[in-house]
Structure 1
Amino acid sequence: MKVQEKNFLENPVTTEIVRNALISAADEMNASLARSAFSPIIYEMKDCSVCLFDKEVRLLGQSAGLPIFLGNLDECIKITTDLIGGIEKYKEGDLYILNDSYIGGTHLNDVTTFSPIFYEGQLVGFTATRAHWLDIGSKDPGYPMDATSIFQEGIRIPPTKIYENFKPLEHVIRLITTNNRFPEAALGDLNAQVAACRTGEKRFKELIDKFGLERIGHCIHDIFLQSEMLDREVIEKIPDGAYEAEGYLDNDGTNDEPIYVKVKVLVEGEHITIDLSGSSRQRRGQTNCGYAQTISACRVAFKDLISPSAPVTGGNFKTLRVVAPEGTVFHAVEPAPCGWYFTPLGLLIDLIIKALSPVMKEKAAAAHYGDSMVVTFAGKDNNSEFLSVEATAGGWGAFQGGDGPSALINHVSGDFKNLPIEVFESKYPIRINQYALRKNSGGKGQFRGGLGVIREYEVLRDETYVSLWFERSKTPAWGLFGGEPGQEPDVEIVSGHGSEHILKVNGKELSKGDRVIVKTGGGGGFGKYSLRRQEDIESDLRKEYIDG
């Protein structure tokens, strides 16, 4: 696709100023959310995302956050618009909330808020946030690892207005927070999301004040056109054809039956279709997700390979189509539980990259460790209930020209942070005895896979309960072009009764002095190990990344 310069409407300097101002507005929204939130999973770990949209719900600006959130907040607004009867139903000062897994695609703990932006009485855009609430009223604290129905996972909120004319609808908010084990934290996190939305509204209107609505519109047109051009130019260089890859998840937490994921990527000129029709039907356990989230994961993989250095805007993904039949793990329907929606999505992203690797070798990477590897502790400390939720880092795949990064969060989580040991130990009756890179966990190759981590917890109170969700042991991170796979994950629980190795468990009781030793997987290698430079091997030995 060749776009002539005459198709652009605004001076490129002005366009860049507006582009960066929109991104800065989103950054300020994110800062407002993190600084105001009550729960450490938001203010420390950044399990949240924010976006600005135009009135057609096309992305204008986003901050660093969870890519898996950012790819579908637009769908939440569009679905809400249809449900309330059209865009004219929005009024200035409105603000909506929702968490329905079949709309937003994620688990119920991920709460979305959004508000329309009006300028001189005219609808000009939307702000949106999504943040993980510590609890949402599920059958177990936080969220369960063994739910078999969406109704066991917590309160399910359809698109619901909670602010009108800038005033909270207290009865609706009370209904939501009452169904929460930590109502004060829930209200605090909600207020932080509201503040972030209002910050975005304010900054967008200030930008219109400065440049005028018409000129802003011209700049947005040009930004979208640039993004679309970049996408089409890269896709045109990929040889037409059908590219396939397949893999398995360990299980859905209710039995030991693997979950099959089949990816077919069809490239036709400037268009890419990702077809997941061959994948498993939705499962009894929680490894299901809503279709909107599947679209988001496919957009993440698309962006990994197609112009990854350029910002994402409403001009991207014009040529991407996603096929996921209803009733599969990638398009779940009621009453399928969706608590671990990201588990199939991490594998999906890796498989899309694997499928296209033969024709995009310079941009492809071997598989990464693949899942969030969640560790949850719950119990009482000084007569108060506590709940900690941690996603654990691991090794990423090597690529042409470089070793895989070590100790990074998984694909779907992006800017997610680990909880610092000092914060963790000050808030919970648990000591962390070790936090280190896991030696020998990266797959061998001309370029080595990244290393997983070891994190050892020691329980300091009786009647502490641990829940675990570790994945990809049966299909660990594979290598590419002769590279070897990374090491699979492992969790050992050591008590006075001995030790056991277990990857998934819900609410296992621990006693004072018991230890939980988690070991995450490494990334796959790239290229044959016989081609690895001797100085790189010696460097790995000196740093104790490998034994030899």
Structure 2
Amino acid sequence: MRMEMKTRVATNQFLESPITTEIIRNALSSAAEEMNASLARSSFSPIIYEMKDCSVGIFNRHAELLGQSAGLPIFLGNLDDCIKINTNYIGGVENYKPGDVYIMNDSYLTGTHLNDITVISPVFYQEELVGFTANRAHWLDVAGQDPGFSMNATEIYQEGLRIPPMKIYDAGVPRKDVINLITTNSRFSEAALGDLNAQIAACRTGEKRFHGIISRFGLETVTRSIADIFRQSELMDREMIAQIEDGVYEAEGCLDNDGVSNEPVNVKVKVTVEGENITIDLTGSSPQVRGMTNCGLAQTVSACRVAFKELISPDAPVTGGNFKTLNVVVPKRTIFSAEQPAACVFYYSALGLLIDLVVKALSPALKEKSAGAHYGDSMIITFAGKDPRRNASFLNVEATAGGWGGFFENDGQSGLINNVNGDFKNLPIEVLEDKYPFKVTTYGFRTNSGGPGKNRGGLGIERGYEVLTDEAFLYLWLERSKTPAWGLFGGAEAAKPEVTIVEGDKEEKALKVNAKPMKNGNKVIVRTGGGGGFGHPFEREASRVLDDVIDDYIDRQTALEQYGVVIKPEVLEVDEQETANYRKTNGK
């Protein structure tokens, strides 16, 4: 038997009034929300202002998280590391000055691909460094071999301009030569400059709000409250981990390939729970590959934090007090610890699988908190070319939603973005058709795509495009057909992703495509996978199966073959007796 948790701390051991602490906690979160609003409203690119491919945070002087807004979890989990890396580059915190702004995107430092631009600014109050504001946003283009990013790069030099930590504002004065160098090396330089200015404005907004909080409560009170917040977060982590049975838990899967070969890319996870500590060990995962599925170490740690948070107090906000009991082990030069010159464009494909595998590994010990796997990847579709309506170049990059796994209490969510992207939004049809030369021909849930189970997996989506220009190129990156979303506790796996390219009377199936020429009238239909089921499908109430048929989530054949539910041919009603007979004959 596990020993009872003995680390609870009496209220009088906290440093500040609980009421004051909660006010400051929410004030910091609100400040981050305002940063995010500033970034979205002033950016130039739809991928930021519509799709919200960005994240922001406010940190103390030790780069510990104080407040964040909804954003990409995979970004939020390592902005603190980026601040520490930047500080190390400049030789220590004493070298920051009020008004400084730094930029970086180096995949081996930030962990992400080069399109993700990180901007950091120190925050001073009465000439004392009190913290940092930081954000990350996806730029449309950073000078790679293809517009946006390539689906067949084999080294980082093909992926674009690589920026180490670099100062772009010096004591409030812009370094125009550096800014021009960075933005000129984009095919969409005006948008790049606009997005950069939006990121700087977001940092300034956070700084202003941070000043307001300190001015209202005083630096000492704010510092004490932050210490209390961190302590609460750490204690909550420790209490939840202590409830998990000690042991070693394992799971593994694979990506389809690395984009330049047909070899699968293996992901292996070993989770060790010991007392109040968790270790995630990725030993046995594939060595660094030639294609683009490599990832910088900082982002791997971030993904492990996302997996941790999915299971450990997921409703509580993340702060600098979290993850003190999490240890991540990654051998050198693997897909999770990329080194020069590894290509890293699709760094997140393996991370989405990694997160699912951590949940799968721990599911025997955390049944009520676990879920079947989700559809797994960002499922990217990109079009680039010339828009005849404006006689201008265009680039449209979309991540596509899919199904999440069924869980102990209910069905999985349908048409939701993948786990690394969090608050990422789909691009509205109206925006797409206004800004780009395409028509959306279909958009809706994909019937029969959710994994069967007592609680069904969520549905993937079907989204169709018709090209309205003779100058367009198609890029695709869809994943997880070899390891589709699996079910748990008797639940079945979900449908795999599928893409159909229609050129006249010719149809082609493909999941990965780089710069395929497209002409007026060509069509592309993207179908994403669903989520895995939870529990045996024959345990699902027949009335719920009938509702799914009525809603066109499944068809009659699936209702019979997967769920053992017989629906009367003449009406939409369950034949209770035939259903009972079928389940008895064909059941577990």
TM-score normalised by structure 1 residue count:
1.00
Write out per-residue CA displacement over residues 120-140 of structure 1, whole angstroms, 9 at most, x where no aligned residue.
000000000100001010000
Return the match for 2:295 from 286, 289, 293: 289
Structure 1 moving runs of 4+ over 6 Å = none
Match of 1:384?
Answer: 392
Q: For the residues of structure 2 that align with 1:254 and 1:137, how far apart are their CA atoms?
A: 21
Is 1:109 aligned to residue 109 of structure 2? no
CA distance in 2, matches of 1:401, 1:85: 51
Report what 2:226 is aligned to.
220
Structure 1 residue 230 and structure 2 residue 236: aligned? yes
Q: Give yes or no for the alignment of 1:211 onto 2:217.
A: yes
1:91-490 alignment, distance < 5 Å: 91-382=97-388, 383-490=391-498
Counterpart selection for 1:8 from 5, 14, 17:
14
> Residue 574 of structure 2 aligns with which residue?
none
CA–CA distance in structure 2, aligned partners of residues 167 and 138 of structure 1: 29
Q: Distance in 2 between matches of 1:404 and 1:6?
A: 42
Query: Which amino acid in structure 2 is aligned with residue 542 of structure 1?
Result: I
Partner of 1:515: 523
Q: Secondary structure at the match of 1:311?
A: coil
SS at match of 2:163: coil
Deviates more, 1:489-498 or 1:269-278: 489-498
Q: Deviations over 1:303-345 (max 9, x none)?
A: 0000000010000000001011110000000000100000000
SS at match of 1:207: helix
> Which whole-Å CA distance do the structure 2 matches of 1:287 and 1:422 have between them?
33
Displacement of 1:6 in angstroms is 2.7
Q: Distance in 1 between matches of 2:289 and 2:397?
A: 24
Name the residue aligned to 1:64. 70
Q: Deviations over 1:202-225 (max 9, x none)?
A: 000111100000000010010001
Corresponding residue SS for 2:168 = strand
**In 2: Cα distance, 1:145 partner to 1:158 partner:** 24
For structure 1, which runs of at least 5 residues remain unmatched after alignment? none
Structure 1 position 3, deviation (Å): 1.8
Q: Distance in 1 between matches of 2:11 and 2:502?
A: 66
- Residue 5 of structure 1 and its aligned partner are, at CA, apart by 2.1
Equivalent AA in structure 2 for residue 5 of structure 1: T
Report what 1:533 is aligned to.
541
Post-superposition offset of 1:4: 2.4
Matches within 5 A, 1:44-83: 44-83=50-89
C-alpha distance in structure 1 between counterparts of 2:88 and 2:148, whole Å: 31
In structure 1, distance between residues paired with 2:332 and 2:212: 43
How far has the Cα of 1:195 moved from its partner? 0.2
Deviations 1:96-131 (A, max 9, x none): 000000111000000000100000000000000100
Identity %: 66
Following the alignment from structure 1 to structure 2, what is the Cα–Cα distance between the partners of residues 248 and 125? Answer: 40
Deviation at 1:496, TM superposition (A): 2.0
**Any idea what SS the aligned residue of 2:323 has?**
coil
Q: Which residues in structure 2 correspond to 1:491-502 (within 5 Å)?
A: 491-496=499-504, 498-502=506-510
The residue type paired with residue 482 of structure 1 is G
For 2:463, the aligned partner's letter is: R
The superposition leaves residues 491-512 of structure 1 with CA deviations (integer Å, 9 ceiling, x where unpaired) of 0001025111000010000111
Please give the alpha-carbon distance, in whole angstroms, between the structure 1 residues aligned to 2:296 and 2:74.
12
Offset at residue 535 of structure 1 (A): 1.1
What's the C-alpha RMSD, in Å, of the aligned pairs?
0.6
Instruction: Please identify the structure whose Cα radius of gyration is greater.
Output: 2
Deviation sequence 1:339-365 (CA, Å, 0-9, x none): 000000000000000000000000000
Q: Which runs of 5+ in 2 are unaligned?
A: 1-6, 557-588
Cα shift readout 1:65-111 (whole Å, capped 9, x = no counterpart): 00000000000010111111111011111000000001110000000
Report the count of equivalent residues: 548
Residue type at the aligned position of 1:93: G
Distance 2:416 2:216 in 1: 40
Please tell me the residue identity of whatever aligns with 2:45: S
> Structure 2 CA distance, aligned partners of 1:44 and 1:365?
29
CA distance in 2: counterparts of 1:439 and 1:190, whole angstroms: 41
Separation of aligned partners in 1, 2:246 and 2:231: 24
For residues 76 and 531 of structure 1, the distance between their equivalents in structure 2, rounded to whole angstroms, comes to 48
Partner amino acid for 2:497? Answer: P
Match of 2:569 in 1: none
Deviations 1:278-317 (A, max 9, x none): 1000110000110000000000010000000001000000
SS of 2:86 mapped into structure 1: helix
- Residues 131-183 of structure 1, C-alpha deviation per residue, up to 9 Å, x if partnerless? 00010100000000000000000000000000012121000000001110000
Which secondary structure state, in structure 2, belongs to the residue aligned with residue 106 of structure 1?
coil
Residue 401 of structure 2: SS of its match in structure 1? coil
In the alignment, the residues of structure 2 paired with residue 142 and residue 246 of structure 1 have an alpha-carbon distance, to the nearest angstrom, of 32
Q: Deviations over 1:343-398 (max 9, x none)?
A: 00000000000000000000000000000000000110132100000000000000
For 1:125, what is the secondary structure of its paired residue? strand
- The letter of the residue matching 1:416 is F
Output the CA distance in 1 between the equivalents of 2:148 and 2:296: 20
1:414 corresponds to which letter in structure 2? G
Distance between the aligned counterparts of 1:497 and 1:99, measured in 2?
44
Q: Distance in 1 between matches of 2:233 and 2:13?
A: 14
Inter-partner Cα distance in structure 2 for 1:166 and 1:300:
35
One-letter identity of the residue aligned with 1:246: E
Give the 3-state SS of the residue equivalent to 2:89 in structure 1.
Answer: helix
> 1:41-67, CA deviations, whole angstroms, 9 ceiling, x for partnerless residues?
000000000000000111000000000
How far apart, in 2, do the equivalents of 1:523 and 1:218 lie?
44
1:234: Cα distance to partner?
A: 0.3
Instruction: Look up the SS of the partner of 2:385 in the other structure.
Output: strand
